Chain A
Amino acid sequence: MLYFSKLRIISVIVFTVIFSYFAFSNFVKFDDKFFSKNINLGLDLQGGSYLLLEIDNRPVITQKLQAKIIELKRYFKEKQITLKNFSLKGDTILFETTDNEIENVKNILNDKESDVNTYYPTYKSHEFDVLEDGNLFTLNYSRYGLVLLKNSSLDQAIEIVRRRVDEIGTNEPNILKRGNDRILVELPGLDDPNRIKSLLGKTANLTFQFISQNNEESFGTEKLSFEDGSRDAIVSKRIILSGDNLVDAKPTMNSQTNETVVSFSLDRVGAKKFGKATSTGVGKQLAIVLDGKIISAPSVREPIIGGSGQISGDFTFQSATDLALLLRSGALPAPLNIIEERTVGPDLGQDSIDAGILSLFIGFLLVILFMIYKYRAFGLIANLALVSNLFLLIGILTLFEATLTLPGIAGIILTVGMAVDANVLIFERIKEETKNEKNPIIAFDAGYTKSRTTILDANITTLIAAFILFFMGSGPVKGFSVTLGVGILTTLFSVYFIARLLTSLYVVKNKDKEQLL
C-alpha cells in the first residue's frame, strides 16, 4: 500500500494542481477561456427570485370543449347525421342522437382514423373517451388527451413567460418546465421581483369589442366593468380584433392630449378586420378589453385603415410600458398563479457569503489545529491532504460550474470536519499495528490495508444520503447534497493518493526512528 510508482506520483500531482488551478480561477482572472470558469452562486447567495408558476388550465379546457362542440355539430351535419341536445356539464360534453344512428356515431367516434376524435397511436388512446347510454353520448378528455392538452398549453405559456422575462432584461434567467402544469422561473440578481410578478400574473388577453347600445346584438352581450372600477358597460360579445393580430406595441406620447398612450400596429389580416369594423362602426364606442376589464372605450370618429392605432387610458409611463410589453409578448393561454416564491435581496446574499466564508475559515482552522495537536507530523500530512481536498472540491465544483448555495457552503465545512475521519481511521489503525510490528513500513502498510473496507463502508453510507438528497431535494438543499457528495469523492482521493503518498515518503525517510506516530 505504501509503494508509489513515478507515474502515479506525477499523475497525483498533476491532477491536484489542475483542480487547484480551477479553484483559484474563481478568485483570479485568467485570460484563458477554458480555465476561467466560475462556480455559479445560488439565488440565496447572489440574491434574486425563484418563482414557481402553476398554470390554471380550467379555462383552456372549457374553451376547447366549447370549440369541440361546434366542431362536432358541423362535422355530423355534413354527414347528415342528426345530433341534438348538446350540452356541457363540467368537463363533459353530452349529446343525443336518434336510435338508428347510434351505431354510426359510435363507429365514427371510436374509429382510429376518426376526424373528430383524434387517435394517438403512441399512447393507444383517443383524445376523448366516449361513453354511450342508449342514445345519450358523453365525451370526456381521456388521460392522454388531457396530458397533451396540458403540455401544449404549458409549451405556449413557457414561450410567453420567456418573452416577458427577456423583455425586462434580467441577466441569465432560468426558465424550466416542471411536470405538466408548472413553470420554474429563476431570476438571479433581480432586485425587485414585484414588477415581474405582476407581469407574469397577467394573462394579457386583449380584445376590441363594440359597446352595445341596445340588446339586439346577434352575438349576445356581456357586462364588463372598467379597469378603474368606476362603472360597467354592456359590451357585444363579437370580437372585432384580438391581441393575436398585434405585431408591435410601444408606449408613446399623444401630442394632442399630452397623455401617455400605447400605440400598436397590426398585421395585414388584423388591419383589414379593424378597417372594416371601424368603417361600419363610426360613432360607436369601441371597448378595449384586457383580461375581462375595459381599459378605455373611445368613440370611433373615422375608419381606421392604416393598421395602427392607440390605446388610451389613465396610464403612467410605467404602466404604458408594461402594457406594451405584455401586448408585444402575447397572451398566455391560461392564467398563471405564483404558488411558490423565494426572494433574497442582494445584500442578504452578500452577508450570507461573508458569513459562509468566515465560518469555513474558522472551522478549517480549528480542525487543522486539532489535527496537529493530535498527530504532530502526521497531523500536518492529514492537513495537507485536507487543504488539497478543499482545492479539489472547489476545483471540481468550478469545472462543472455547479451551483453553490448557503447550505452548500455548510456542506463544504462539514466535509472539512468529516474528511479527516478517513485519515484518523488509518492513523489509529497504524498505531495498533505498531504495537505488534516493529518494522514501521510493514505496520503502516497493514494499517492502510486493514482500514480500507471500513473507510469505504463509512463513506458509502454518507454518499447514499447525499444521492437521495440530490434527487429529492430542491434549490439550496440540492446544493448541499452536491458539495457533500463531491466532498466524499475528493476526500477519498486526498486520503488515498495525497496523504498516502506523503505518508510513504515520510515513513521511508524516517524508518529508523522510534515511534513514528
Chain B
Amino acid sequence: MRDISFNKFYRKFNILSLVLILISLVFLIFKGLNYGVDFKGGTLIELRTTDKTNNISLIRDSFSQMNLGDVSVKKFGNETDFIVKFEKQNSNDPEFIKNIQNKLSSSIGGVDFRRVENVGPKVSSELLKSGIIAISLSLAAMLLYIWIRFEWQFSLGAILAIFHDVIITLGIFSIFSLEINLSIVAAVLTIVGYSMNDTVVIFDRVRENLRKFSDIKIFELTNISINETLSRTIITSVTTLLALSSIYLFGGEILKGFSLAMILGVIFGTYSSIYIANPILVALNVSQRTIVKEEKD
C-alpha cells in the first residue's frame, strides 16, 4: 500500500473544483448548451456524397438556398460524409425530405442520406423535459439509497461529488460547444452511477475504519481509507477508461460524444470521490459517534 498524503491537498483541490464549477456555471448560464435536434427540434441529415470534390461550403450553399433557417454543416468522419443540421422541420409535408434530396442531387450530384432525424418542437421539448426528469430522478434515487445505507453526512458528500462531476462535464460540453443529445443524457446518468460507485467504495472503507479506530481524526482517517482503496480506484478507472477509449476511437462517429462525456465523467468521478466526497466528511466533522449513534437506533 502506498501512502500518499491526499489530505494535504484537500483545500487546494477544493478551491480548484470551486473555480471549475464556477467557470462551468458561468458558461452554462451565459453560453448555454449546444442542444442537438433531439432537444431543440429541427432536422439532422447525415449524408454521403459520391463526388469527392464537394466541400463544406459548397454543401452549405446548396442548403442555404432552400430556405431552411439556420443551417450548420460539419464533416463527419470520412471525407465524403457530412452532418447537416437546420432549424426547419416540416411535419405537415411528408415530401419534405424527398424534396431536399432532389434539390441537393441537382446541385451537388449524387448524394445518399445515410441518416435522417426530424424532430418537431413538441417532441423536442418533451424529450428535454424527460431528460431533465431522468437525471433529477436518478440523483434523488441515489441520495435516497445512500441515505438508507449510510448516514446523512455521507449522503451529502456523495451527492455533492456527483453534482460536481455532472456540472463540470456539462460545463466542458458548453465551453467547447459539443452537442447535447439523448445519448449524452444516457452518458450523464451513467456518470452519476459511476461516480456514486466510486464514492461508495471509499465511504465503505471510511465507515469500516471509523468503527475500528476511535482515536484517529476524520482528517487522517479519510486519508487512510483513500490509500487503502487506491489501487482499486486506479485499476477500475483504468479498465473503464480503456473500454471507453476503445468506443471513442473505434466505435464510429455517432458514439463519439457519448463516450467523450463518459470519459470526462469517469475522470472527474474518480477525482471527486477523493477530493470532494472526503473533504465533506471532514468538514461535517464525522466521527465514530456519527455511525455508532446510527447503529444504536
State the A residues within 8 Å of B (CB). 44, 52, 54, 193-194, 197-198, 200-201, 337-345, 347-348, 351-352, 355-356, 358-360, 362-364, 366-367, 370-371, 374, 406-407, 409-410, 413-414, 416-418, 420-421, 424-425, 428, 432, 453-454, 457-466, 468-469, 472-477, 480-481, 484
Contact = CB atoms under 8 A, between A and B. Distances in A.
B91 A338 contact: yes
Contact of A345 (B114, B231, B240): B114
A367 B237 CA distance: 11
Given A344-B115, A374-B235, A410 B250 contact: no
Contacts of A352: 252, 254
Nearest to A345: B114
Nearest to B144: A464
Nearest to B47: A345
Contacts of B255: 355, 359, 406-407, 410
A417 B183 contact: no
A454 B250 CA distance: 33
A410 B252 CA distance: 11
B61 to A, nearest CB: 24
Question: Which 8 A-B pairs give the minimum distances between C-beta atoms?
Answer: A417-B243, A363-B246, A465-B193, A201-B94, A355-B252, A472-B134, A339-B120, A359-B250
B242 A366 contact: yes
Interface residues of B, number: 73
A454 B200 contact: yes
Nearest to A458: B197
Contacts of A362: 246, 249-250
Given A345-B115, A374-B235, A465 B120 contact: no
A425 B230 CA distance: 10
A365 to B, nearest CB: 9
Interface of B: 1, 46, 91-95, 97-98, 112-120, 122-123, 127, 130-131, 133-134, 137-138, 141-142, 145-146, 149, 182-183, 185-186, 189-190, 192-194, 196-198, 200-201, 204-205, 228-229, 231-232, 235-236, 238-247, 249-252, 254-255, 258-259, 262
B137 A344 contact: no
B228 A432 contact: yes
Nearest to B246: A363
A366 B249 CA distance: 13
Given A341-B117, A371-B239, A461 B246 contact: no
A371 B183 CA distance: 29
Name the residue among A338, A461, A466 with the largest chain B CB count within 10 angstroms: A461
**Interface of chain B, main secondary structure:** helix
A367 B243 CA distance: 7
A364 B197 CA distance: 21
Contacts of B245: 363
B204 to A, nearest CB: 4
Nearest to A346: B114
Given A356-B251, A359-B250, A414-B262, A370 B183 contact: no
Contacts of B91: 54, 337-339
B123 A340 contact: yes
A340 B120 contact: yes
Contact of A465 (B1, B114, B138, B252): B138
Name the residue among B93, B131, B183, B252 with the largest chain A CB count within 10 angstroms: B252
A477 B183 contact: yes
Contacts of B190: 414, 462, 465, 484
Contacts of B127: 474
Contacts of A351: 252
Nearest to A367: B239
Given A359-B250, A370-B238, A473-B182, A462 B117 contact: no
Contacts of A348: 46, 114-115
A61 to B, nearest CB: 19
Given A352-B252, A458-B200, A339 B241 contact: no
Contacts of A481: 186
A313 to B, nearest CB: 18
B276 to A, nearest CB: 16
A339 B228 contact: no
A459 B194 CA distance: 9
Given A339-B123, A407-B255, A457-B149, A355 B250 contact: yes
A344 B114 contact: yes
